[in-house]
Amino acid sequence: MEHLLLGKMALIAAAGITAQWLAWRLYLPAVILLTAGGLLLGPATGLVAPHADFGELLRPLVGLAVAVILFEGGLSLEREELKQVGGTVKRILLLGVPMTGILAALAAHFLAGFSWSVAFVVGALLVITGPTVVIPLLRQAKLDRETARTLKWEGILNDPLGAILAVVVFEYLVQDATSPGAFLLHAVGGVIGAAVLGVAAAWGFAWANRRGEIAEFLKAPVLTGLVAVVYAGGNWLQAEGGLISVTLFGAGLANLGLANLDQLRRFKENIGVLLISGLFVVLAATLEPSMAQQVDWGLVAFVAALLFVIRPASVFLATIGLGLSLKRRLFLGWIAPRGIVCVAVAGVFGPRLVEQGYPQADALVPLAFLVVFVTVVLHGSTVGWLGRKLGLAAGPEHDVLIVGATPWSAALADALHRIGLPVVLADTNPHHLTIAETHVPTFAGEILSEQAEQRLDLSRFEHVIAATDSDSYNALVASQFALEQGIDRTFQLASHPEAAPSQLRPEARGRVLLGEGYDSDWLDDRLREGWQFRCLRLARGGVAKLPHQAVPVATLEPSGEVWFRAKEGGFRPGAGDTVILFAPPEVAMTLEPCGKPKSARAQRAEQRAASKAAREAANKAAKAAGALSGKSVTGPER
């Protein structure tokens, strides 16, 4: 039995990570594939039956996983960033969330047929718009900064707010007090106690951390253990109050100025991804074929009302008087995908309510899955298209960030800009940007600072090139951005001879742009000798032949995707691609300057226009020749 249970746990982990990997490779919302994996292991094949396999441990394990996810979300709630959010998010949270909860409760009662008690639980659960779903969608959609920031912070803050609201409603349904006053006193006391516990835990950990009372290698394990203790303590103070405690625990740590918080946050993010993967698979596996019978036309009507009436109405009413454009209000009123916390909280509350005598609560989990699946599919498939239609999102462009304004990097930025790629050149020294005389947008400041994240929206860059004259700083920038952009899209210049290879470990560097030997000094020297950036468009159906003396830098595919050449390989320009070359003067004069390549339609239009002009010129020439011929023949006869 023990080996069988261990095998099922390994199967759950494998299914979750495989779904995450496929979602990354296929650019799909991970929630869809995780749900599919859980349905495959559970109802479809019966390989995993969580209630039978885990028994009474299932509920506390699910609750603890939710606690870790909420704690990780709380670590993102930094006060300085929240100051930049503006009135839109405040209105949506303070007015939109209550309106969504009330309207959803009304729809759950009158459309889906839930009792008033269960209907208000449904309303509380469905105010949550999970950041685990919203943020990946924003990265794909490339929305403008104001719209993206609004959705991002709404999603992050809705997790704890929705959890708190659900806890209060749940506590009211299961409490033993006979009067509203007694319940209010009990609920407020429990919420305050859970909140104080979370804040105290954050302050205590920060105090011990600053005094050096915790060894560096123990900080992450101690923090993980504290999350479990705080969650259990909050639940002891009030049923499910641990969700409040761990959320404030994370938010408190995020605002106490811990020097090594980024490392701890990264560790918790990794745990969060693993827990989300396994938790979604387990919760999907708990669904039974009989639950499909509970999805009737009333639930379908409820979900339709949630999508097309409740969310748009809440946003429109909450943002009255803010001066938001109609397009932005339409977009915000449509995009509100629900995520893992909604399903997980439903998995915690549903069985408890059934035990308390609310039989309709057994529909909470299938309803939550239905809402999550429908919103993720619809919003995930339309966020980019609708954003572009409303003018709130950029097209399928591939932004490039170049860190370090050296003469060579400025010339590279101009070349990329001329072929139509969005480029930003950043440097800590404004003087370097001034003397670079580049025609691309620039950023003066520390690229690794919070200011850069707020002003540039770093998530929109698909490629990052660290091109300063400092090898160690290049390695630092590359290693930091590789965590988000991926190592295959993060580059740094080759190290100088005196620094390579002994002073910098390979694992502490990004991919080496161009290859070893092409450091900043060598590239700047060649630029002073007259080397230039040139473009070579490879003919379709032909053989890719590049000038031997030139240095290939990047290739631009007809689709607009750009690939940079690295020491590690993978640079294979194909027919129809445009290759960017760094070439000596004698080679550069034989190549065309870089310019934005024309689309196939534009090229055909140019060819038609040229053919038409050639025909018109030929006709004019023929007429002129005929006129001259006529004069020469008839002149003497006259």
Residue range(s) defining the domain that contains residue 70: 2-389
> In 3-state terms, what secondary structure has residue 284?
helix
Claim to verify: residue 96 and residue 245 sit in the same structural domain: yes
Please tell me the distance from the alpha carbon of residue 411 to that of residue 243, in angstroms, as a whole number: 52
**Average pLDDT, integer, range 549-557:** 84
pLDDT tens-place string over residues 508-541: 456 888 888 888 888 888 888 888 888 888 766 5
635 in a structural domain = no
Same domain for 267 and 225: yes
Radius of gyration of the chain, Cα coordinates, nearest whole angstrom:
30
- Residue 595 forms part of a structural domain: no
Is the domain of 373 the same as that of 484?
A: no
For the segment 579-601, the average pLDDT, to the nearest whole number, is 74
Assess whether 197 and 316 both reside in one domain. Answer: yes
Please indicate, yes or no, whether residues 607 and 467 belong to a single structural domain of this protein.
Answer: no
- Tell whether 612 and 559 lie within a shared domain: no
Residue-wise pLDDT for 145-193, tens only, equals 778 778 877 877 776 677 677 777 777 777 655 566 776 777 778 778 8
Q: Convert the pLDDT of each residue in 275-295 to its tens digit.
A: 878 887 887 887 777 666 767
293 falls within a domain: yes
Q: Which of 389, 418, 451 is the last residue of a domain?
A: 389
Are residue 321 and residue 279 in the same domain, yes or no?
yes
Q: Into how many domains does the chain fold?
A: 3
Domain assignment present for residue 593? The answer is no
Return the CATH number at 109.
Answer: 1.20.1530.20
Segment 572-601 shows an average pLDDT of 74
Q: Tell me: do 429 and 523 sit in the same domain.
A: yes
CA 29 to chain centroid, in Å, comes to: 10
Residue 554 resides in a domain? yes
137 and 191 share a domain? Answer: yes
Confidence of residue 637 (pLDDT cuts 50, 70, 90): very low
Any idea what the CATH number is for the domain that residue 543 is in? 3.40.50.720
Tell whether 86 is covered by a domain.
Answer: yes
Q: Do the domain assignments include residue 632?
A: no
Phi/psi of residue 419, each to 5°?
-90, 5
Q: Is residue 394 included in any domain, yes or no?
A: no
Do 67 and 183 fall into the same domain? yes
Mode of pairing for the β-strands spanning 551-556 and 532-537:
unpaired
Residue type for position 635: G
Express each pLDDT in 344-396 by its tens digit. 777 777 877 888 788 888 888 888 888 887 887 788 778 878 888 888 776 55
Q: What is the pLDDT of residue 635?
A: 34
Check pLDDT > 60 for residue 542: no
Same domain membership, residue 385 and residue 437: no
Mark whether 341 and 478 lie in a shared domain.
Answer: no
* Pairwise pLDDT comparison (593 vs 498), residue with the higher score: 593
Q: Is the peptide bond before 501 cis (omega within 30 degrees of 0)?
A: yes
**Tens digits of residue pLDDT in 224-264:** 889 899 998 988 887 667 878 888 888 888 878 776 666 67
Q: Which residue, 343, 371, 389, sits at the end of a domain?
A: 389
